[in-house]
Amino acid sequence: MLIEEISLKFGASPDAAPLKLESPTCTVFVGPNNSGKSLVLREIVRSCTEGRLGGNSVLNGIRFKSHTNEEAESIFHAWKVEPKLNEFVPAEHAILKQGLWRQQVNISNFMESLKQPNSSDHQRRQFTNNYVSRFILNLDGPSRINLVNAQDRGDLKEPSNSFARIFTDNSRRAKIRDVLHDAFGLYLGFDMSEASDLVLRYGESPPPTERSVEDETLEWMRNARHINELSDGVKAFTGILLELRAGDPRIIAIDEPEAFLHPALAFKLGKEIAKRLTMLANTFSSQRIVLSF
């Protein structure tokens, strides 16, 4: 669990005490247009990525979970990597890597921010910048469409982005393809033939072995439709599904989750989100998803 409490600046009615949301798995904001739903999601995301609480209109504060010394040690050693050739690392510092993020940090500051994230503004910023922001998935309108943009293959021996993780996992790729075929009647394929990128395509038949450049594979990619040729609904659903199945989000903020989706797709997305929450709850005890309608 990363968030223990979200507090707002006001309550459910003019005379009510300010509202506090204590560790629910899912928080849903519902209200008319211009009532502040999207705004509070933006403020939550900003507080989880930058650690800043000042300047908010709706959000009063977030209390983050404190880690034990053993938990902090485990996180540090799991993320610690060796310096590159000729890379200077000062004493009491280390290089940490998680996904695409790689940063040199002061070891003591990093450990203390994990153990006492709410003790000061500095600790909160350290905690959110170096830890929480690695696990937040923010899905507003533009970002969910951009999730299907080409991603660099990188080092496939250590896949560091969503596409690469799916591309190197045949079982997970097959399960995702089944869900998408059920939704659209088309088969998703990962095209590795374009420079150093992984590109999404949809075809009428299952792709041959994607992790090769054999003639049969290249012919399928040639005839398949680029993801950008399809509707925003297809792109939004595909991108969200890939992130839910391949990423490591522990805080998921979705503004108008039904946007771009017809009712049947919105229902399927709800099921996928519920599955992800169940998996996270079993793995990490409790997580947070925040939605606005």
Same domain, 218 and 149: yes
Residue 120 maps to a domain: yes
Q: What pLDDT, in 10s, does the model give residues 68-113?
A: 999 999 999 999 999 999 999 999 999 999 888 999 999 999 999 9
Same domain, 225 and 173: yes
State residue 93 phi and psi, 5-degree precision.
Answer: -120, 165
- pLDDT reported for residue 106: 96
Q: Cβ distance 58 to 5 under 8 Å?
A: no
- pLDDT reported for residue 54: 77
Distance CA 244, CA 240 (A): 6
- pLDDT reported for residue 293: 47
Which of 250, 241, 264, 41 is CA-nearest to residue 144? 241
Of the residues 134, 158, 183, the one at which a domain ends: 134
Q: Block means of pLDDT (10 residues each) for the chain, length 293 residues? A: 88 87 78 85 91 85 94 96 93 92 95 96 94 88 85 89 93 94 96 93 94 92 96 91 83 82 84 74 53 51
What is each CA distance from 54 to 51, 61, 122, 170, 234, in whole angstroms? Answer: 9, 9, 13, 46, 38
Q: What is the CATH number of the domain that holds 257?
A: 3.40.50.300
Residue 271 maps to a domain: yes
Residue 287 maps to a domain: yes
Same domain, 152 and 185: yes
Residue 207 maps to a domain: yes
Full domain range(s) for residue 77: 69-134
Domain count, the chain: 3
Same domain, 260 and 173: no
Residue 139 maps to a domain: no
Same domain, 255 and 271: yes
- pLDDT reported for residue 51: 87
What is each CA distance from 142 to 37, 157, 188, 221, in whole angstroms? Answer: 17, 31, 22, 27
Same domain, 75 and 123: yes
- pLDDT reported for residue 285: 46
- pLDDT reported for residue 129: 94
Of the residues 103, 134, 165, the one at which a domain ends: 134
- pLDDT reported for residue 13: 82
Same domain, 158 and 219: yes
Beta-bridge mates of residue 191:
199
Same domain, 14 and 57: yes
Same domain, 257 and 235: no
Buried-exposed string 138-166: b where 16+ CB fall within 10 A, e elsewhere: bbbeeebbebbebbebeeeeebbbbbbbb
Same domain, 55 and 78: no
Residue 292 maps to a domain: yes
